[in-house]
Structure 1
């Protein structure tokens, strides 16, 4: 599998369990859905189960001052959909392995996350 090209990013901040901001760029981690903070789950939507604050802490612990980004696409909200890596560890995989998010195969453009951590993705899949 050929991954998209990578580049270095720095000074990113965690917005929630599946979103970061690096400068002006809003980045949504590819193929995962983290629990929403209170009042953030839109009416009629089934939101990811779990503790949104624990999910955010999990992602914050995994982020580093400089990371690698592989941009895949953009979502309907204008966020970059991307694979993010910190010290060689994919952040979507980190969130799945720590039960801080669920895997949505419909959002796995290119099948990258399943290829990187299929066991964790299968265990935390939306379609289980």
Structure 2
């Protein structure tokens, strides 16, 4: 969201509100399921989430509302 990108950091271009709304449309009326697939080097969980059989990360990238940043997506 605006103001969330720290100085000197390359942030994702685009409208964050449009991205949020698109994700909301992908999940509306569907059960969301998240599965832990890894742990990053800081000990945080890496999860893949889906709604209605749609991989949300892959769909957001395909639709132009997100970019692959830290790792490779296997879509």
TM-score by length of 1: 0.50
Higher share of residues assigned strand: 1
| Number of equivalences | 73
Q: Is 1:91 the equivalent of 2:56? A: yes
C-alpha RMSD over aligned residues: 2.1
**Structure 2: distance between partners of 1:55 and 1:81:** 20
SS at match of 2:34: strand
Give the structure 1 partner of residue 23 of structure 2. 59
Shift of 1:81: 2.2
Give the structure 2 partner of residue 81 of structure 1. 46
Which runs of at least 4 in structure 1 moved beyond 4 Å after TM superposition?
Answer: none
**Structure 2: distance between partners of 1:87 and 1:74:** 27
What are the ranges of 5 or more consecutive residues in structure 1 without an aligned counterpart? 1-36, 117-128
What are the ranges of 5 or more consecutive residues in structure 2 without an aligned counterpart? none
Decide whether aligned partners of structure 1 residues 79 and 56 sit closer, same or farther in structure 2, where only a CA change above 3 A counts: farther
Is the contact made by 2:30 and 2:52 (CA closer than 8 Å) also made in structure 1? no
TM-score by length of 2: 0.79
